[in-house]
Amino acid sequence: MSLLTLVGASGCDDLPKDPNDTLERVQRSPLRAGAVANPPWVEHGRVAAGAEVALVERFARELGTDVHWRLGSEQELFAALEAFELDLVIGGLQDSNPYLAHAAKSRPFGASFAGHEVVIATAPGENRFLVTLDGYLHRHAAAVLGPWLPRTRERAVPGDAGAARAGAPAADGGGP
């Protein structure tokens, strides 16, 4: 019962918390992100580039931190994620990706651009970090992805993504 009283006292905004304090740590040291090549989300090459790379770098800027990129295969990067050596993994990951069983995943985004739902994998159980990422994606994903994925833009359906894009200029200036 003491837990219940704690819930009341601390307020809902602080919950959930991260077991490994990921959100607090990335505000002091760079965000450790893994990228699997999968254009247009992550381009092939020796430096991280692509639609989702831009998305994560913008997220880091909002948190007031940098991104330390690690490029590699799905298997390698997901193993690192599960071992808490990475904070998130990108690469046009689809919701049904079997590697996601041992990780946490964001809400799907990007369906209106590439035609399929894409998620970002985060370290398992770091729920505060995940909720923060989801909030950011909800506000900015459409606006950040728009310039990167123009080819399929006409497929955009009216709704979440469209509304977010329309409000993007104002949101671009603001903080998280």
Residues lying near other proteins in the complex (CB under 8 A): 3-4, 6-7, 12, 15-19, 21, 100, 102-107, 122-128, 130-131, 134-135, 137-138, 160
Q: Give the shortest CB-61-to-other proteins separation in angstroms.
A: 20
Q: Name which of 30 and 124 has its Cβ closer to other proteins.
A: 124
| CB 165 to other proteins: min, Å | 15
Burial of residue 14 (CB within 10 Å: 0-12, 13-18, 19+) is exposed
By the 8 A CB rule, do 34 and 80 touch?
A: yes
The number of C-alpha atoms within 13 Å of 143 and in the hemisphere containing its C-beta is: 18
Nearer to other proteins, 4 or 47 (CB): 4
Q: What are residue 126's phi and psi, to 5 degrees?
A: -85, 75
Instruction: Tell me how crowded residue 52 is: count the other CB atoms within 10 A of its CB.
Output: 29
CA distance 41 to 92: 5
Closer of 68 and 138 to other proteins (Cβ): 138
- Residue 101 CB, nearest approach to other proteins (Å): 8
Q: Least separation, in Å, of the C-beta of 29 and other proteins?
A: 19
Task: Work out how close the CB of 93 gets to other proteins at its nearest, in angstroms, rounded to a whole number.
Answer: 13
> For other proteins, which is the closer residue by CB, 15 or 44?
15
Q: Which is nearer to other proteins, 51 or 133 (CB)?
A: 133
